[in-house]
């Protein structure tokens, strides 16, 4: 199966599917998670990155044993050969864009990395280093504020918890020239709902199902 680049999916007016950390019942941020994401055919893979003892590793929380974590270098070595597979790197602390991109250039992975998380003010830096940044929002924050911020810095998407998305604010966001990236959409009901709405990106622990439903609903 030939994987499309995310840009090709969007150009066709369809929804990109991102395999969330721990997809297909694997351990989050593990080697098995990465391999499952690759096998699923999803256009993007999401994982959590933090710096631990001077090493970039995959971990959502501060790990009790850093040696047990998959390193970002090992992750890049698995992902780099996969043509068109992009990465959503969710940084858990500020200041990680530069070290991540320094490592990415060794493979090279320019143009295949999108940052989310603790980096909402760093889109200009990300672009200068060959990556992009999608603004992240959390429940309780106002979508209108995200729209205004995106219009200011040009971020193409709002990366939000799926419970924040409605038909109304999706319409407003699209009219502003931006779109939604929803996390973490695991239930079939919401996968179907957001595919019918045509939101820009769905991040899910069930990418195989999401790809099947996209084919059924969007014909892609």
> pLDDT (tens digit, 9 = 90+) per residue, 161-220?
999 999 999 999 999 999 999 999 999 999 999 999 999 999 999 999 999 999 999 999
* Separation of alpha carbons 19 and 37, rounded Å: 5
Instruction: Return mean pLDDT, the chain.
Output: 97
Topology, domain 6-139+184-213? TIM Barrel (3.20.20)
Judged against a pLDDT cut of 70, whether residue 1 lies above it is answered with: no
User: pTM for the whole thing?
Assistant: 0.97
The CB density around residue 73, as the number of other CB atoms within 10 Å, is 13
Say whether the peptide bond before residue 108 is cis (omega within 30 degrees of 0): yes
- The whole-number average pLDDT for the span 102-110 is 95
Contact criterion met (CB below 8 Å) for 76 and 36: no
- The whole-number average pLDDT for the span 117-121 is 97
* Separation of alpha carbons 201 and 189, rounded Å: 16
Taking the domains of the chain in order of start, what are their residue ranges? Answer: 6-139+184-213
């Amino acid at each position: 199966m030939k994987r499309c680049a995310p840009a090709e999916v969007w150009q066709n007016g369809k929804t990109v599917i991102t395999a969330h950390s721990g997809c297909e019942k694997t351990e989050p941020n593990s080697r098995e998670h990465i391999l499952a994401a690759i096998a699923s055919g999803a256009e993007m893979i999401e994982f959590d990155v933090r710096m631990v003892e001077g090493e970039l590793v995959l971990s959502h929380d501060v790990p009790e044993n850093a040696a047990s974590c998959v390193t970002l270098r090992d992750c890049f070595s698995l992902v780099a050969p996969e043509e068109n597979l992009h990465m959503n790197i969710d940084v858990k602390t500020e200041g990680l864009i530069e070290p991540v991109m320094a490592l990415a250039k060794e493979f090279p992975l320019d143009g295949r990395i999108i940052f989310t998380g603790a980096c909402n003010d760093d889109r200009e830096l990300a672009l200068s280093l060959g990556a992009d940044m999608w603004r992240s929002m959390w429940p309780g924050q106002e979508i209108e504020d995200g729209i205004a911020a995106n219009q200011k810095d040009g971020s193409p998407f709002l990366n939000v918890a799926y419970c924040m998305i409605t038909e109304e604010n999706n319409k407003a966001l699209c009219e502003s020239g931006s779109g939604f990236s929803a996390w973490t959409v695991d239930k079939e009901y919401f996968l179907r709902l957001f595919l019918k709405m045509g939101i820009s990106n769905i991040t899910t622990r069930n990418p195989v199902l999401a790809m099947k439903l996209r084919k059924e609903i969007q014909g892609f």
